[in-house]
Structure 1
Amino acid sequence: MRKNFNDADLNRSVGNLLRLGVILSVITSLIGFLKLFTEGFKMPRKYKLLDMGTSSEKVWGHFWETLCKGEGMAIIQLGILMLIFTP
């Protein structure tokens, strides 16, 4: 016999989904921090040379490019995006 799906089951399912999303996001970010720590992070010497007026296409393109290379900063950004997109 099939059990009816009630509010308590829905609350439990949504809670488990949120919990899983947060845990995966934290694990991904920690992996990114460890990777960034091992590969080293250098701050730019002259901030005036940074191009701050880039389009969103360039930003997303750079994100995917660095993520495919396995850079720590991109892995941290992926963890943050996973946290944002967790329902």
Structure 2
Amino acid sequence: MGAGLAGSLAELASIRTPLLVLSVVALVVAWIMWWRKRETACAPGETCTTDASPPRAVGLLIAATVLVGLTVIWDSIEPTLMDWIL
């Protein structure tokens, strides 16, 4: 089972760049949607009835941004990490 999983993940390595581009675009769109919702949640002069930015959504966006950022720079930090670990 482990070898089958490793084989399928190896196939994803060949399309790494398109997946990264798609991930970055999706994150940019998600941040823009969050920002616009935050700005338009309450009309001027009215009171807000709902929370415009739930902490869970912001936390997930930050976590996704960190993970995609690590993925983008992984090739440059992996040798240093392997030297440090081994």
Q: TM-score range by the shorter chain?
A: 0.3 to 0.5
- Report the TM-score, using the length of structure 1 for normalisation: 0.42
More contact order relative to length (CA 8 Å, sep ≥ 6): 1
Taking structure 2 as the reference length, the TM-score comes to: 0.42
Which structure is higher in helix share?
2
